Amino acid sequence: MAFTQLKTLLFTLLCVISASTACAQEPRNETDYVARNLQTIQKIYNLTVYPNNVPIQKNGSSAVPPGLFNPNATGRVSPVGNFSGFADSIEYFFALAPSPQNFNGLAFHAADVVEFTSGCPEVASSVVYLRTHKVDPKTGEVDKSQKTSTLAQVAFWRFDENGAVMYYHAWIPQLQLWIEAATGIDFKNVVIQKAVSTVLCPQIQDRCKGKDQQYTNVATCAAFLNLKPFGSFDEVWGDNVVCRQIHLLLTGVRPDVHCPHVGPKGGSKSAGFKCVDVNYSQDYFDDTKLFEEGVDENGAKSRGGMINSYLTVPPESEETDDEFVQRLLNDVGIHDVGGFTLLFGELRAPKSAGRSDSESLNDSSQSHTSELPGIAIVSNRTESPKELRRIGTRLGETHGLSNSHYGDNSWPKVVNGERFLNEAIFKNTSTDQGQDEFITSLFEILCVDDIPRRTSDESWDKYVRHMRNSIMIPAGKGAVKQQSSSTEPVSGRSDGPLTQVRDEAYGTMKQTVILVSKDGKVVFVERTLYDDDGRPLEVGRQEQRVEFMIEAWKR
Protein backbone atom coordinates (compact mmCIF):
# COMPACT_ATOMS: atom_id res chain seq x y z
CA MET A 1 0.00 0.00 0.00
CA ALA A 2 1.73 3.20 -1.17
CA PHE A 3 0.69 6.79 -0.77
CA THR A 4 2.16 9.79 -2.60
CA GLN A 5 0.85 11.88 0.24
CA LEU A 6 -1.28 11.13 3.24
CA LYS A 7 -4.76 12.49 3.10
CA THR A 8 -6.14 11.50 6.44
CA LEU A 9 -9.79 10.63 6.34
CA LEU A 10 -11.71 9.58 9.40
CA PHE A 11 -15.22 8.92 8.16
CA THR A 12 -17.66 8.73 11.04
CA LEU A 13 -21.04 7.36 10.01
CA LEU A 14 -23.66 9.21 11.96
CA CYS A 15 -25.67 6.29 13.17
CA VAL A 16 -25.98 6.59 16.93
CA ILE A 17 -28.13 8.27 19.52
CA SER A 18 -29.93 7.69 22.81
CA ALA A 19 -31.92 9.72 25.22
CA SER A 20 -29.80 10.89 28.09
CA THR A 21 -31.54 13.58 30.10
CA ALA A 22 -31.25 17.12 28.81
CA CYS A 23 -29.75 18.33 32.06
CA ALA A 24 -26.40 16.69 32.74
CA GLN A 25 -25.93 15.26 36.19
CA GLU A 26 -22.33 16.18 36.89
CA PRO A 27 -21.66 19.05 39.34
CA ARG A 28 -21.57 22.48 37.74
CA ASN A 29 -21.58 26.15 38.57
CA GLU A 30 -25.23 27.18 38.42
CA THR A 31 -24.78 30.77 39.54
CA ASP A 32 -26.67 32.63 36.82
CA TYR A 33 -27.49 30.29 33.95
CA VAL A 34 -31.12 31.48 34.00
CA ALA A 35 -30.01 35.07 33.47
CA ARG A 36 -27.49 33.98 30.84
CA ASN A 37 -30.05 31.98 28.86
CA LEU A 38 -32.68 34.70 29.13
CA GLN A 39 -30.18 37.29 27.92
CA THR A 40 -29.31 35.12 24.91
CA ILE A 41 -32.97 34.74 23.95
CA GLN A 42 -33.65 38.44 24.43
CA LYS A 43 -30.67 39.36 22.24
CA ILE A 44 -31.83 37.02 19.49
CA TYR A 45 -35.33 38.47 19.36
CA ASN A 46 -34.11 42.05 19.71
CA LEU A 47 -32.19 41.52 16.49
CA THR A 48 -35.49 40.84 14.70
CA VAL A 49 -36.65 44.37 15.56
CA TYR A 50 -36.28 47.00 12.85
CA PRO A 51 -33.73 48.48 12.16
CA ASN A 52 -31.59 46.02 14.20
CA ASN A 53 -32.21 43.36 11.55
CA VAL A 54 -31.09 45.50 8.59
CA PRO A 55 -27.30 44.81 8.83
CA ILE A 56 -27.97 41.06 8.93
CA GLN A 57 -30.32 41.25 5.96
CA LYS A 58 -27.62 43.08 4.02
CA ASN A 59 -24.49 41.23 5.17
CA GLY A 60 -25.73 37.84 6.32
CA SER A 61 -24.04 35.81 9.05
CA SER A 62 -21.04 38.14 9.34
CA ALA A 63 -23.29 40.73 10.98
CA VAL A 64 -24.58 38.40 13.72
CA PRO A 65 -22.94 39.02 17.11
CA PRO A 66 -20.87 36.05 18.32
CA GLY A 67 -22.11 33.77 21.08
CA LEU A 68 -25.81 33.65 20.17
CA PHE A 69 -25.85 30.55 17.95
CA ASN A 70 -23.54 27.57 17.85
CA PRO A 71 -21.92 27.24 14.38
CA ASN A 72 -23.97 24.05 13.90
CA ALA A 73 -27.25 25.38 15.29
CA THR A 74 -30.19 23.39 13.98
CA GLY A 75 -33.91 23.56 14.53
CA ARG A 76 -37.46 23.86 13.34
CA VAL A 77 -39.79 26.84 13.26
CA SER A 78 -43.29 25.73 12.36
CA PRO A 79 -44.79 26.41 9.92
CA VAL A 80 -41.89 28.11 8.14
CA GLY A 81 -39.33 25.32 7.87
CA ASN A 82 -36.45 23.22 9.16
CA PHE A 83 -33.04 24.87 9.39
CA SER A 84 -29.66 23.12 9.49
CA GLY A 85 -26.55 25.05 10.40
CA PHE A 86 -25.69 28.59 11.41
CA ALA A 87 -26.43 30.24 8.05
CA ASP A 88 -29.87 28.64 7.77
CA SER A 89 -30.77 29.51 11.35
CA ILE A 90 -29.79 33.16 11.29
CA GLU A 91 -31.62 33.64 7.98
CA TYR A 92 -34.87 32.55 9.55
CA PHE A 93 -34.53 34.57 12.72
CA PHE A 94 -33.28 37.78 11.14
CA ALA A 95 -33.54 37.83 7.34
CA LEU A 96 -37.22 36.83 7.42
CA ALA A 97 -38.08 39.43 10.05
CA PRO A 98 -40.33 42.00 8.33
CA SER A 99 -38.90 45.31 7.19
CA PRO A 100 -40.92 48.30 5.91
CA GLN A 101 -39.42 47.88 2.44
CA ASN A 102 -40.67 44.32 1.94
CA PHE A 103 -43.73 44.01 4.18
CA ASN A 104 -46.14 46.76 3.22
CA GLY A 105 -44.43 49.30 5.48
CA LEU A 106 -44.65 47.02 8.53
CA ALA A 107 -41.89 45.87 10.86
CA PHE A 108 -41.35 44.52 14.36
CA HIS A 109 -40.90 47.51 16.65
CA ALA A 110 -40.60 45.52 19.89
CA ALA A 111 -39.89 41.96 21.03
CA ASP A 112 -41.22 41.15 24.49
CA VAL A 113 -40.24 37.90 26.21
CA VAL A 114 -43.45 37.46 28.18
CA GLU A 115 -42.76 33.95 29.49
CA PHE A 116 -39.43 32.26 30.20
CA THR A 117 -38.20 29.31 32.19
CA SER A 118 -34.86 27.53 32.39
CA GLY A 119 -34.72 24.56 34.74
CA CYS A 120 -31.07 23.71 34.02
CA PRO A 121 -28.18 25.30 32.12
CA GLU A 122 -28.77 23.40 28.89
CA VAL A 123 -32.46 24.03 28.23
CA ALA A 124 -35.05 26.79 28.29
CA SER A 125 -38.49 27.64 26.94
CA SER A 126 -39.97 30.98 26.04
CA VAL A 127 -43.00 32.83 24.73
CA VAL A 128 -42.29 36.01 22.81
CA TYR A 129 -44.69 38.68 21.55
CA LEU A 130 -43.38 40.41 18.43
CA ARG A 131 -45.12 43.78 18.19
CA THR A 132 -45.76 44.85 14.61
CA HIS A 133 -46.46 48.39 13.44
CA LYS A 134 -46.11 50.80 10.57
CA VAL A 135 -42.53 52.07 10.69
CA ASP A 136 -40.88 54.90 8.77
CA PRO A 137 -38.03 53.20 6.84
CA LYS A 138 -35.92 56.37 6.95
CA THR A 139 -36.27 57.40 10.58
CA GLY A 140 -37.36 54.13 12.19
CA GLU A 141 -40.17 55.98 13.96
CA VAL A 142 -43.40 54.11 14.69
CA ASP A 143 -46.64 55.45 13.24
CA LYS A 144 -48.68 55.48 16.43
CA SER A 145 -51.85 56.37 14.56
CA GLN A 146 -52.00 52.77 13.37
CA LYS A 147 -52.98 49.77 15.47
CA THR A 148 -50.36 47.35 16.73
CA SER A 149 -50.62 43.70 15.74
CA THR A 150 -48.87 40.97 17.71
CA LEU A 151 -47.20 37.81 16.47
CA ALA A 152 -46.51 35.16 19.10
CA GLN A 153 -43.75 32.56 19.06
CA VAL A 154 -43.42 29.64 21.46
CA ALA A 155 -39.95 28.09 21.55
CA PHE A 156 -37.87 25.44 23.27
CA TRP A 157 -34.10 25.91 23.33
CA ARG A 158 -31.04 23.74 23.86
CA PHE A 159 -27.71 25.47 24.63
CA ASP A 160 -24.14 24.29 24.22
CA GLU A 161 -21.57 24.42 27.02
CA ASN A 162 -20.80 28.07 26.19
CA GLY A 163 -24.42 29.20 26.35
CA ALA A 164 -24.97 29.47 22.58
CA VAL A 165 -28.11 28.01 21.01
CA MET A 166 -27.46 24.50 19.70
CA TYR A 167 -31.03 23.29 18.99
CA TYR A 168 -34.39 25.00 18.88
CA HIS A 169 -37.98 24.01 18.19
CA ALA A 170 -40.42 26.88 17.80
CA TRP A 171 -44.01 27.42 16.74
CA ILE A 172 -45.76 30.47 15.32
CA PRO A 173 -49.51 29.98 15.83
CA GLN A 174 -51.91 31.51 13.32
CA LEU A 175 -49.21 32.89 11.02
CA GLN A 176 -51.55 33.31 8.03
CA LEU A 177 -54.16 35.08 10.16
CA TRP A 178 -51.51 37.48 11.50
CA ILE A 179 -50.17 38.25 8.01
CA GLU A 180 -53.65 38.97 6.69
CA ALA A 181 -54.54 41.10 9.72
CA ALA A 182 -51.27 43.04 9.60
CA THR A 183 -51.32 43.72 5.85
CA GLY A 184 -55.06 43.89 5.25
CA ILE A 185 -54.62 41.46 2.34
CA ASP A 186 -56.85 38.41 1.95
CA PHE A 187 -54.43 35.83 0.58
CA LYS A 188 -57.25 33.30 0.22
CA ASN A 189 -58.73 35.44 -2.55
CA VAL A 190 -57.90 33.89 -5.95
CA VAL A 191 -57.53 37.30 -7.58
CA ILE A 192 -55.01 38.31 -4.92
CA GLN A 193 -53.12 35.05 -5.40
CA LYS A 194 -52.73 35.69 -9.14
CA ALA A 195 -51.59 39.24 -8.42
CA VAL A 196 -48.91 37.97 -6.03
CA SER A 197 -47.37 35.87 -8.81
CA THR A 198 -47.32 38.91 -11.07
CA VAL A 199 -45.54 40.95 -8.41
CA LEU A 200 -43.02 38.24 -7.48
CA CYS A 201 -41.62 37.55 -10.95
CA PRO A 202 -40.00 40.96 -11.63
CA GLN A 203 -38.33 40.71 -8.21
CA ILE A 204 -37.13 37.17 -8.93
CA GLN A 205 -35.60 38.29 -12.24
CA ASP A 206 -33.96 41.26 -10.54
CA ARG A 207 -32.43 39.25 -7.68
CA CYS A 208 -31.53 36.02 -9.47
CA LYS A 209 -29.13 36.93 -12.25
CA GLY A 210 -26.22 35.32 -14.07
CA LYS A 211 -25.49 31.83 -12.76
CA ASP A 212 -28.41 32.18 -10.32
CA GLN A 213 -31.02 32.99 -13.00
CA GLN A 214 -34.00 30.62 -12.93
CA TYR A 215 -36.41 31.86 -15.60
CA THR A 216 -35.85 33.15 -19.14
CA ASN A 217 -37.94 36.25 -18.50
CA VAL A 218 -40.74 37.66 -16.36
CA ALA A 219 -43.45 36.24 -18.60
CA THR A 220 -42.03 32.72 -18.34
CA CYS A 221 -41.87 33.06 -14.56
CA ALA A 222 -45.45 34.31 -14.30
CA ALA A 223 -46.75 31.54 -16.55
CA PHE A 224 -45.00 28.94 -14.39
CA LEU A 225 -46.20 30.32 -11.04
CA ASN A 226 -49.77 30.66 -12.30
CA LEU A 227 -49.82 26.90 -12.78
CA LYS A 228 -48.76 26.27 -9.18
CA PRO A 229 -51.06 26.15 -6.15
CA PHE A 230 -50.76 29.26 -4.03
CA GLY A 231 -50.21 27.44 -0.75
CA SER A 232 -50.68 28.68 2.79
CA PHE A 233 -48.53 30.56 5.28
CA ASP A 234 -49.63 27.97 7.83
CA GLU A 235 -47.97 25.20 5.78
CA VAL A 236 -45.11 26.84 3.92
CA TRP A 237 -43.26 23.78 2.62
CA GLY A 238 -44.41 22.61 -0.80
CA ASP A 239 -44.29 23.18 -4.53
CA ASN A 240 -46.29 26.38 -4.31
CA VAL A 241 -46.12 30.16 -4.60
CA VAL A 242 -45.92 30.89 -0.87
CA CYS A 243 -42.75 28.82 -0.46
CA ARG A 244 -41.11 30.71 -3.33
CA GLN A 245 -42.27 34.01 -1.83
CA ILE A 246 -40.51 33.14 1.43
CA HIS A 247 -37.27 32.17 -0.32
CA LEU A 248 -37.40 35.30 -2.47
CA LEU A 249 -36.91 37.30 0.73
CA LEU A 250 -33.79 35.25 1.44
CA THR A 251 -32.21 35.68 -1.99
CA GLY A 252 -30.78 38.98 -0.81
CA VAL A 253 -28.66 37.12 1.76
CA ARG A 254 -27.57 34.00 -0.16
CA PRO A 255 -28.72 34.10 -3.79
CA ASP A 256 -26.74 30.97 -4.68
CA VAL A 257 -28.77 28.99 -2.13
CA HIS A 258 -32.22 30.53 -2.40
CA CYS A 259 -32.57 31.39 -6.10
CA PRO A 260 -32.86 27.67 -6.95
CA HIS A 261 -35.72 27.43 -4.45
CA VAL A 262 -37.74 30.12 -6.25
CA GLY A 263 -37.08 28.40 -9.59
CA PRO A 264 -39.01 25.67 -11.42
CA LYS A 265 -37.25 22.79 -9.63
CA GLY A 266 -37.83 24.19 -6.15
CA GLY A 267 -34.17 23.75 -5.20
CA SER A 268 -30.89 22.21 -6.27
CA LYS A 269 -28.62 19.29 -5.42
CA SER A 270 -26.20 21.53 -3.54
CA ALA A 271 -28.81 23.66 -1.74
CA GLY A 272 -31.41 20.97 -1.16
CA PHE A 273 -35.01 21.06 -2.34
CA LYS A 274 -37.26 23.17 -0.11
CA CYS A 275 -40.11 24.15 -2.47
CA VAL A 276 -41.18 20.67 -3.51
CA ASP A 277 -44.15 18.61 -2.44
CA VAL A 278 -43.54 16.46 0.63
CA ASN A 279 -45.64 14.44 3.03
CA TYR A 280 -45.98 17.38 5.40
CA SER A 281 -47.07 15.38 8.44
CA GLN A 282 -44.11 12.97 8.07
CA ASP A 283 -41.20 14.58 6.21
CA TYR A 284 -41.50 17.99 7.84
CA PHE A 285 -41.59 16.50 11.33
CA ASP A 286 -38.84 13.94 10.72
CA ASP A 287 -36.66 14.58 13.79
CA THR A 288 -34.29 11.79 12.78
CA LYS A 289 -33.48 13.60 9.54
CA LEU A 290 -33.32 17.08 11.08
CA PHE A 291 -31.52 16.40 14.35
CA GLU A 292 -29.86 13.12 13.30
CA GLU A 293 -31.45 11.45 16.33
CA GLY A 294 -31.32 7.91 15.08
CA VAL A 295 -29.69 5.50 12.72
CA ASP A 296 -29.88 6.59 9.10
CA GLU A 297 -28.93 3.70 6.86
CA ASN A 298 -31.04 4.63 3.87
CA GLY A 299 -29.36 7.55 2.15
CA ALA A 300 -30.00 7.69 -1.57
CA LYS A 301 -26.28 7.41 -2.34
CA SER A 302 -23.24 5.72 -0.87
CA ARG A 303 -21.11 7.73 1.52
CA GLY A 304 -18.06 6.04 0.04
CA GLY A 305 -18.34 8.20 -3.05
CA MET A 306 -17.26 11.23 -1.02
CA ILE A 307 -14.16 9.47 0.26
CA ASN A 308 -13.24 8.38 -3.25
CA SER A 309 -13.77 11.87 -4.62
CA TYR A 310 -11.09 13.11 -2.20
CA LEU A 311 -8.59 10.27 -2.40
CA THR A 312 -8.62 9.96 -6.18
CA VAL A 313 -7.56 13.55 -6.82
CA PRO A 314 -4.20 13.48 -8.69
CA PRO A 315 -1.22 14.18 -6.39
CA GLU A 316 -0.25 17.20 -8.47
CA SER A 317 -3.67 18.78 -7.99
CA GLU A 318 -3.71 22.15 -6.22
CA GLU A 319 -7.34 21.85 -5.16
CA THR A 320 -7.88 23.54 -1.78
CA ASP A 321 -10.08 22.19 0.99
CA ASP A 322 -12.68 24.87 0.24
CA GLU A 323 -12.69 23.87 -3.43
CA PHE A 324 -13.11 20.21 -2.48
CA VAL A 325 -16.16 21.03 -0.36
CA GLN A 326 -17.62 23.11 -3.18
CA ARG A 327 -17.08 20.16 -5.53
CA LEU A 328 -18.85 17.89 -3.06
CA LEU A 329 -21.79 20.26 -2.95
CA ASN A 330 -22.02 20.85 -6.70
CA ASP A 331 -21.01 17.54 -8.26
CA VAL A 332 -21.24 14.75 -5.70
CA GLY A 333 -24.08 16.03 -3.52
CA ILE A 334 -24.09 15.54 0.25
CA HIS A 335 -27.67 16.14 1.34
CA ASP A 336 -29.05 12.83 0.10
CA VAL A 337 -26.46 10.39 1.40
CA GLY A 338 -27.67 10.00 4.96
CA GLY A 339 -25.97 11.34 8.06
CA PHE A 340 -22.18 11.62 8.12
CA THR A 341 -19.22 13.58 9.41
CA LEU A 342 -16.12 13.59 7.22
CA LEU A 343 -12.70 14.66 8.48
CA PHE A 344 -10.15 15.34 5.78
CA GLY A 345 -6.83 17.08 5.28
CA GLU A 346 -3.10 16.66 4.80
CA LEU A 347 -0.93 15.97 7.84
CA ARG A 348 2.24 18.03 8.06
CA ALA A 349 4.87 18.72 10.71
CA PRO A 350 3.90 21.57 13.06
CA LYS A 351 5.36 25.00 12.48
CA SER A 352 6.92 26.09 15.77
CA ALA A 353 8.08 29.54 16.71
CA GLY A 354 11.75 29.20 17.62
CA ARG A 355 11.52 25.59 18.76
CA SER A 356 12.43 22.25 17.29
CA ASP A 357 9.76 19.76 16.29
CA SER A 358 10.99 17.44 19.02
CA GLU A 359 10.64 20.10 21.70
CA SER A 360 7.17 21.08 20.54
CA LEU A 361 5.81 17.58 20.21
CA ASN A 362 7.08 16.57 23.64
CA ASP A 363 5.56 19.62 25.33
CA SER A 364 2.01 19.00 26.52
CA SER A 365 1.37 22.63 27.49
CA GLN A 366 -0.99 24.83 25.49
CA SER A 367 1.04 28.01 25.80
CA HIS A 368 3.42 27.49 22.89
CA THR A 369 2.71 28.77 19.39
CA SER A 370 3.08 25.59 17.35
CA GLU A 371 0.70 25.49 14.42
CA LEU A 372 -0.58 22.67 12.24
CA PRO A 373 -2.73 22.82 9.11
CA GLY A 374 -5.42 20.93 10.98
CA ILE A 375 -8.19 18.65 9.78
CA ALA A 376 -11.34 20.03 8.16
CA ILE A 377 -14.87 18.92 9.05
CA VAL A 378 -17.71 18.59 6.55
CA SER A 379 -21.08 16.97 7.20
CA ASN A 380 -24.43 16.43 5.52
CA ARG A 381 -25.47 19.73 7.12
CA THR A 382 -22.79 21.76 5.36
CA GLU A 383 -24.27 24.36 3.01
CA SER A 384 -21.15 26.25 1.91
CA PRO A 385 -17.33 26.13 2.14
CA LYS A 386 -17.64 29.26 4.26
CA GLU A 387 -18.87 27.01 7.08
CA LEU A 388 -15.75 24.82 7.00
CA ARG A 389 -14.28 24.24 10.46
CA ARG A 390 -10.85 22.92 11.40
CA ILE A 391 -9.65 20.96 14.39
CA GLY A 392 -6.18 19.86 15.38
CA THR A 393 -4.54 23.19 14.58
CA ARG A 394 -2.58 23.11 17.86
CA LEU A 395 -0.77 20.38 19.73
CA GLY A 396 -2.56 18.76 22.65
CA GLU A 397 -6.12 18.96 21.31
CA THR A 398 -8.59 16.13 21.95
CA HIS A 399 -11.87 15.97 20.04
CA GLY A 400 -14.76 13.53 20.03
CA LEU A 401 -17.33 13.22 17.26
CA SER A 402 -20.81 11.78 17.44
CA ASN A 403 -24.06 11.67 15.52
CA SER A 404 -24.82 15.13 16.87
CA HIS A 405 -23.18 18.38 15.89
CA TYR A 406 -19.47 18.84 16.36
CA GLY A 407 -19.00 20.46 19.76
CA ASP A 408 -22.08 18.91 21.38
CA ASN A 409 -20.76 17.48 24.64
CA SER A 410 -24.10 16.23 25.91
CA TRP A 411 -23.38 12.71 24.64
CA PRO A 412 -21.79 10.48 27.32
CA LYS A 413 -19.85 8.52 24.68
CA VAL A 414 -18.14 11.74 23.53
CA VAL A 415 -17.30 12.98 27.01
CA ASN A 416 -16.11 9.55 28.16
CA GLY A 417 -14.18 8.91 24.97
CA GLU A 418 -12.25 12.17 25.25
CA ARG A 419 -11.50 11.45 28.92
CA PHE A 420 -10.35 7.89 28.24
CA LEU A 421 -8.13 9.06 25.38
CA ASN A 422 -6.52 11.78 27.48
CA GLU A 423 -5.84 9.24 30.22
CA ALA A 424 -4.29 6.78 27.75
CA ILE A 425 -2.06 9.48 26.25
CA PHE A 426 -0.95 10.66 29.68
CA LYS A 427 -0.05 7.12 30.72
CA ASN A 428 1.91 6.58 27.51
CA THR A 429 3.88 9.83 27.75
CA SER A 430 4.59 9.55 31.47
CA THR A 431 5.78 5.91 31.49
CA ASP A 432 7.94 3.65 29.34
CA GLN A 433 4.88 2.09 27.70
CA GLY A 434 5.66 0.71 24.24
CA GLN A 435 3.80 1.44 21.03
CA ASP A 436 2.01 -1.92 20.82
CA GLU A 437 0.80 -1.61 24.39
CA PHE A 438 -0.41 1.92 23.65
CA ILE A 439 -2.32 0.71 20.58
CA THR A 440 -3.91 -2.03 22.68
CA SER A 441 -5.08 0.56 25.22
CA LEU A 442 -6.66 2.60 22.42
CA PHE A 443 -8.57 -0.42 21.12
CA GLU A 444 -9.80 -1.01 24.66
CA ILE A 445 -11.36 2.45 24.54
CA LEU A 446 -13.07 1.59 21.26
CA CYS A 447 -14.50 -1.52 22.92
CA VAL A 448 -16.22 0.22 25.84
CA ASP A 449 -19.75 -1.20 25.80
CA ASP A 450 -22.35 0.70 27.84
CA ILE A 451 -25.45 -0.19 25.84
CA PRO A 452 -28.13 -2.51 27.26
CA ARG A 453 -29.55 -5.44 25.35
CA ARG A 454 -32.76 -4.65 23.51
CA THR A 455 -35.86 -6.06 25.16
CA SER A 456 -38.54 -7.95 23.28
CA ASP A 457 -41.10 -5.13 23.61
CA GLU A 458 -38.69 -2.28 22.79
CA SER A 459 -39.06 -0.58 19.41
CA TRP A 460 -35.97 0.05 17.30
CA ASP A 461 -36.50 3.83 17.40
CA LYS A 462 -36.58 3.72 21.19
CA TYR A 463 -33.64 1.35 21.51
CA VAL A 464 -31.38 3.31 19.19
CA ARG A 465 -31.42 6.23 21.61
CA HIS A 466 -29.28 4.19 24.01
CA MET A 467 -26.45 4.41 21.49
CA ARG A 468 -25.59 7.92 22.67
CA ASN A 469 -24.01 6.32 25.74
CA SER A 470 -21.84 3.58 24.28
CA ILE A 471 -18.60 3.86 22.30
CA MET A 472 -18.96 0.33 20.93
CA ILE A 473 -22.26 -0.99 19.60
CA PRO A 474 -22.27 -4.83 19.68
CA ALA A 475 -24.36 -5.98 16.72
CA GLY A 476 -26.28 -8.73 18.46
CA LYS A 477 -27.67 -6.58 21.26
CA GLY A 478 -30.14 -4.82 18.99
CA ALA A 479 -31.79 -7.98 17.72
CA VAL A 480 -35.31 -8.48 19.04
CA LYS A 481 -34.71 -12.17 19.54
CA GLN A 482 -32.08 -12.31 22.23
CA GLN A 483 -28.98 -14.21 21.27
CA SER A 484 -26.21 -15.70 23.30
CA SER A 485 -23.71 -13.05 24.26
CA SER A 486 -20.97 -15.40 23.09
CA THR A 487 -21.86 -14.56 19.49
CA GLU A 488 -20.68 -10.98 19.98
CA PRO A 489 -17.08 -9.78 20.10
CA VAL A 490 -16.02 -8.88 23.60
CA SER A 491 -13.27 -6.26 23.89
CA GLY A 492 -12.57 -6.60 20.18
CA ARG A 493 -12.39 -10.42 20.31
CA SER A 494 -14.71 -13.12 19.03
CA ASP A 495 -13.83 -16.00 21.33
CA GLY A 496 -17.29 -17.55 21.29
CA PRO A 497 -18.96 -19.66 18.61
CA LEU A 498 -18.84 -17.99 15.21
CA THR A 499 -22.60 -17.62 14.92
CA GLN A 500 -23.84 -15.29 12.20
CA VAL A 501 -25.70 -12.22 13.46
CA ARG A 502 -29.16 -11.58 12.09
CA ASP A 503 -29.70 -9.50 8.95
CA GLU A 504 -31.36 -6.67 10.88
CA ALA A 505 -28.52 -6.43 13.39
CA TYR A 506 -26.69 -3.14 13.57
CA GLY A 507 -23.41 -2.39 15.26
CA THR A 508 -19.69 -1.68 15.16
CA MET A 509 -18.01 -3.52 12.30
CA LYS A 510 -14.55 -1.93 12.20
CA GLN A 511 -12.25 -0.20 14.69
CA THR A 512 -9.28 1.89 13.59
CA VAL A 513 -6.26 3.40 15.34
CA ILE A 514 -3.98 5.82 13.47
CA LEU A 515 -0.71 7.03 15.00
CA VAL A 516 1.57 9.65 13.45
CA SER A 517 5.06 10.12 14.91
CA LYS A 518 6.93 13.40 15.17
CA ASP A 519 8.98 12.27 12.16
CA GLY A 520 5.91 11.66 9.99
CA LYS A 521 5.70 7.88 10.30
CA VAL A 522 2.16 6.53 10.15
CA VAL A 523 1.00 3.37 11.89
CA PHE A 524 -2.47 2.39 10.66
CA VAL A 525 -4.14 -0.50 12.50
CA GLU A 526 -7.65 -1.67 11.69
CA ARG A 527 -9.70 -4.45 13.24
CA THR A 528 -12.66 -5.96 11.39
CA LEU A 529 -15.06 -7.65 13.81
CA TYR A 530 -17.46 -9.23 11.29
CA ASP A 531 -17.17 -10.42 7.72
CA ASP A 532 -19.52 -9.29 4.94
CA ASP A 533 -21.99 -12.03 5.85
CA GLY A 534 -22.21 -10.94 9.47
CA ARG A 535 -20.06 -13.73 10.92
CA PRO A 536 -17.63 -12.76 13.72
CA LEU A 537 -14.04 -13.08 12.58
CA GLU A 538 -11.46 -15.12 14.41
CA VAL A 539 -8.84 -13.12 16.29
CA GLY A 540 -6.09 -13.97 13.83
CA ARG A 541 -8.13 -12.64 10.89
CA GLN A 542 -9.33 -9.42 12.49
CA GLU A 543 -6.33 -7.12 12.35
CA GLN A 544 -4.54 -5.41 9.47
CA ARG A 545 -1.54 -3.15 10.01
CA VAL A 546 0.15 -0.76 7.58
CA GLU A 547 3.15 1.50 8.22
CA PHE A 548 4.52 4.19 5.91
CA MET A 549 6.20 7.61 5.88
CA ILE A 550 4.36 10.78 4.91
CA GLU A 551 6.09 12.36 1.95
CA ALA A 552 6.78 16.09 2.21
CA TRP A 553 6.16 15.88 5.98
CA LYS A 554 8.16 19.06 6.63
CA ARG A 555 7.12 20.86 3.46
The reported pLDDT for the residue numbered 370 is: 53
Residue 388 exposed, middle or buried by CB count within 10 Å (0-12, 13-18, 19+): middle
The DSSP call for residue 306 is H
The reported pLDDT for the residue numbered 351 is: 76
Q: Smallest Cα–Cα separation from 307: which of 510, 11, 6, 512?
A: 11
Give the range among 211-225, 346-360, 435-449 with minimum mean pLDDT. 346-360
pLDDT at 540 over 90: no
For residue range 498-536, list pLDDT tens digits in order. Answer: 344 455 567 888 999 999 998 999 999 999 998 877 788
For residue range 30-43, list pLDDT tens digits in order. Answer: 458 899 999 999 99
- What is the pLDDT averaged over residues 228-234? 92
The reported pLDDT for the residue numbered 284 is: 64
**CA-CA distances (angstroms) from residue 330 to 81, 327, 334, 379, 431?**
23, 5, 9, 14, 50
The reported pLDDT for the residue numbered 20 is: 33
pLDDT at 83 over 90: no
Residue 224 exposed, middle or buried by CB count within 10 Å (0-12, 13-18, 19+): middle
- Percentage of the chain beyond pLDDT 90 is 39
The full set of domains in the chain, from first to last, is 18-185 (3.10.450.50), 186-287 (no CATH), 295-549 (no CATH)
Q: When comparing pLDDT for 124 and 458, which is higher?
A: 124
Looking at every residue in the chain, the average pLDDT score rounds to 81
For residue range 56-81, list pLDDT tens digits in order. Answer: 888 888 899 999 998 888 899 988 88
Three-state SS at 172? coil
What are the start-end ranges of the H helices in 476-515? none
Give the range among 56-60, 239-243, 382-386, 526-530 with minimum mean pLDDT. 382-386
For residue range 483-500, list pLDDT tens digits in order. Answer: 444 444 444 443 333 344
Contact criterion met (CB below 8 Å) for 40 and 136: no
Give the range among 48-52, 118-122, 300-304 with minimum mean pLDDT. 300-304
pLDDT at 410 over 80: no
**CA-CA distances (angstroms) from residue 181 to 49, 170, 192?**
19, 22, 15
- Percentage of the chain beyond pLDDT 70 is 81
pLDDT at 333 over 90: no
Q: Smallest Cα–Cα separation from 339: which of 7, 8, 17, 9?
A: 17
pLDDT at 266 over 50: yes
